[in-house]
């Protein structure tokens, strides 16, 4: 057993349980240096958005405490990863770098580059899985390519699926005799100030592994049983809200899958709800598979003809959409939930995204960028695959010609208008039959509810029937493109 330390290089994997790289490093018996590097200088990567930066700061605080409770110390550095990692290796004489594999294109390229550099330096570079249930290489079509349709992907993925072994948190993390210097997290200024818009986020979430585990436990106890029915309802708390915890690796997808499988064995939830939840976890894997096979997924449409789409891209309308002022209550409620909490219900995401792309003819990449900045669960694979899905230009996508009617969507998934009342309080006094279409309400109903259209709440940016025809005409143009 050597006294030279090894490094555990952390990215979005802020957990002690189910962490194969940390587990292997501790098992090797050498002192361990857990290291996180904030790289906000290397171009060509998707720099963290504002909401993700806030979450990152909180999860690092929690993780540093968890590590310290086991005798270790989390080291923080800032700068280009390749440079900082090599520096810490040199300063400490570390003999190995353990890490969990990432799948974003810039990250995968960096890992290849680091492997060559560390091989040259004689430093072991040890890569582990754990971020996904299965690697993208494992689920390929018979021809060896990527699945572009979800159902066959799901079938192939779940066939002979063996979960990675559950790993307990290490009891002790042996610190080296001399700890390398670390940045002070406060100097990174990850939380916003002037203005501090993070209060709603702090109220809504508990970043960190214990918050993640508590969320999973709560969901399996109270939400999983009715998940298949409730997950689409905007007025119910029917989904797990595990997405930011999964995005930051505070809980493993395997732990989520195991919790659902345990519920199936214990019959505490019906089979349909359990399978539906598992399917959503596999949608996440599907997104990663797409990103892996199509590294340009965040920037370019998978269906080539969409590169020629005649977008309008009105900047004023984009701003109105971002601020939740489109005049369509269900769209505005979704966008305001996002601003207030850093999260939006999946059904609302589909509605607001469709509205942006099809009613306003604003490129999906503008919506993708806005979500990237504002979502606490911003995830390159899920975000880009989902935007392409809604825009009709992605894999297994909702066909472009299927255009959501925001009024009908509201009436179906928020029948009493409770979701709208919560996030668009200026409409709270309207009755259920008017709340999703205030412009149809009688003047006396509007007056009674204190709503002045065009003043206290905007009129619709665009009329639905007109926007629908316009979108279909735009689509005809690219369909005609040879």
Distance of CA 100 to the CA centre of its chain: 18
- For residue 46, the SS3 value is coil
**100 conformational bin, left if phi > 0, alpha if psi -120 to 50, beta if neither:** beta
Structure tokens at 110: 């960096």
Question: Which of the residues 178 through 237 are near ligand FAD (CB under 6 A)?
Answer: 231
User: Is 364 an annotated catalytic residue?
Assistant: yes
The b/e string for 240-265 (b: 16+ C-beta within 10 A; e otherwise) is bbbbbbbbbbbbbbbbbbbbbeebbe
383 binds ligand FAD (CB under 6 A): yes
Smallest distance, Å, CB 354 to ligand FAD?
A: 9
Question: Which of the residues 265 through 294 are near ligand FAD (CB under 6 A)?
Answer: 280-281, 283-284, 287
317 binds ligand FAD (CB under 6 A): no
User: Is 197 an annotated catalytic residue?
Assistant: no
Smallest distance, Å, CB 278 to ligand FAD?
A: 9
379 binds ligand FAD (CB under 6 A): yes
C-alpha torsion 313→295→279→372, nearest 10: -40
Question: 79 exposed, middle or buried (CB, 10 Å; 0-12, 13-18, 19+)?
Answer: middle
- Locus of tokens 């005799």: 177
Choose, from 111, 275, 280, 300, the residue flagged as catalytic: 280
Q: Where are the alpha helices (DSSP H) in 15-126?
A: 20-27, 50-68, 81-92, 105-121
Query: Annotation-wise, does 243 bind a ligand?
Result: yes
Binding span for ligand FAD by CB under 6 A among 141-149, 296-304, 330-338, 378-386: 378-386
Q: Which residues contact 274 (CB under 8 A, 6 or more apart)?
A: 224, 227, 260, 261, 263, 264
Smallest distance, Å, CB 173 to ligand FAD?
A: 28
Among 335, 366, 390, 397, the residue binding ligand FAD under the rule CB under 6 A is 390
Choose, from 387, 389, 411, 423, the residue flagged as catalytic: 387
Among 247, 330, 435, 461, the residue binding ligand FAD under the rule CB under 6 A is 247
**Nearest C-alpha neighbor of 277 from the set 237, 213, 231:** 231
Angle at 316 between CA 329 and CA 305, to 5 degrees: 90
Sign for the CA dihedral angle at 185, 186, 189, 191 comes to: positive
Residue closer to ligand FAD (CB basis): 92 or 409? 409
Smallest distance, Å, CB 241 to ligand FAD?
A: 4
350 binds ligand FAD (CB under 6 A): yes
> What is the distance between the alpha carbons of residues 331 and 327, in angstroms, rounded to a whole number?
8
Choose, from 270, 300, 305, 346, the residue flagged as catalytic: 346
C-alpha torsion 414→419→425→429, nearest 10: 40
377 binds ligand FAD (CB under 6 A): yes
- Locus of tokens 């919790």: 259
Among 56, 375, 395, 478, the residue binding ligand FAD under the rule CB under 6 A is 375
Among 7, 38, 290, 353, the residue binding ligand FAD under the rule CB under 6 A is 353
User: Is 280 an annotated catalytic residue?
Assistant: yes
Query: Annotation-wise, does 184 bind a ligand?
Result: no
Query: Annotation-wise, does 239 bind a ligand?
Result: yes
Smallest distance, Å, CB 248 to ligand FAD?
A: 11
Smallest distance, Å, CB 258 to ligand FAD?
A: 14
Query: Annotation-wise, does 467 bind a ligand?
Result: no
Choose, from 205, 364, 372, 389, the residue flagged as catalytic: 364
Query: Annotation-wise, does 166 bind a ligand?
Result: no
Structure tokens at 122: 């004689």
Which DSSP state fits 132?
S
Query: Annotation-wise, does 242 bind a ligand?
Result: yes
Structure tokens at 84: 């900082």
Which DSSP state fits 246?
H
User: Is 372 an annotated catalytic residue?
Assistant: no
What residues are designated binding site for FAD?
A: 227, 239-243, 277, 377-379
Residues marked as catalytic: 280, 283, 311, 346, 364, 387
Interface residues with ligand FAD (CB under 6 A) are 231, 239-243, 246-247, 280-281, 283-284, 287, 346, 349-350, 353, 371, 375, 377-379, 382-383, 386-387, 390
């Amino acid at each position: 057993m050597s006294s030279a330390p090894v490094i555990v290089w952390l990215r979005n994997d802020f957990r002690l349980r189910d962490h194969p790289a940390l587990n292997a490093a501790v098992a090797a018996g050498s002192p361990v240096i857990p290291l996180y590097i904030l790289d906000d200088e290397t171009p060509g990567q998707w720099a963290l958005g504002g909401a993700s930066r806030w979450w990152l700061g909180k999860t690092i605080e929690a993780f540093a405490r968890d590590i310290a409770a086991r005798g270790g110390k989390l080291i923080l550095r800032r700068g280009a990863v390749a440079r900082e990692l090599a520096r810490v290796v040199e300063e400490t004489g570390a003999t190995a770098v353990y890490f969990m594999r990432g799948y974003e294109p810039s990250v995968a390229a960096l890992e290849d580059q680091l492997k060559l550099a560390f091989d040259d330096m004689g430093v072991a570079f040890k890569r582990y899985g754990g971020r996904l249930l299965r690697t993208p290489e494992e689920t390929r079509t018979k021809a060896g390519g990527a699945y572009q349709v979800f159902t066959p992907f799901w079938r192939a993925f779940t066939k002979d699926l063996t979960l990675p072994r559950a790993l307990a948190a290490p009891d002790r993390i042996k610190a080296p005799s001399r700890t390398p210097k670390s940045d002070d997290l406060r100097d990174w200024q990850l939380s916003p100030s002037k203005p501090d818009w993070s209060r709603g986020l702090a109220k809504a979430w508990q970043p960190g592994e214990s918050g993640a585990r508590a969320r999973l436990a709560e969901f399996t106890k109270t939400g999983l049983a009715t998940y298949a029915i409730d997950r689409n309802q905007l007025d119910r708390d029917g989904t797990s809200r595990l997405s930011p915890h999964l995005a930051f690796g505070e809980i493993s997808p395997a732990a989520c899958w195991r919790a659902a499988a345990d519920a199936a064995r214990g019959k505490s939830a019906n089979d349909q709800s359990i399978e539906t939840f598992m399917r959503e976890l596999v949608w996440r894997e599907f997104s990663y598979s797409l990103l892996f096979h199509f590294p340009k997924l965040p920037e370019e449409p998978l269906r080539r003809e969409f590169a020629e789409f005649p977008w309008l891209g009105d900047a004023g309308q984009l701003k109105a959409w971002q601020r939740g002022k489109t005049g369509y209550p269900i769209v505005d409620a979704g966008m305001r939930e996002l601003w207030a909490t850093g999260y939006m219900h999946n059904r609302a995401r589909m509605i607001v995204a469709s509205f942006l792309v099809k009613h306003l003819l604003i490129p999906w990449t503008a919506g993708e960028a806005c979500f990237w900045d504002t979502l606490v669960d911003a995830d390159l694979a899920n975000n880009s695959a989902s935007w392409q899905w809604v825009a009709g230009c992605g894999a297994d996508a909702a066909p472009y010609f299927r255009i959501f009617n925001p009024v009908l969507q509201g009436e179906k998934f928020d029948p009493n208008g409770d979701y709208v009342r919560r996030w668009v309080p200026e409409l709270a006094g309207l009755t259920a039959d008017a709340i999703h279409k205030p412009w149809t309400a009688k003047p006396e109903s509007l007056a009674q509810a204190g709503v002045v259209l065009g003043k206290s709440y905007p009129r619709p940016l665009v009329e639905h029937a007109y926007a629908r025809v316009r979108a279909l005409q735009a689509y005809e143009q690219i369909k005609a493109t040879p």
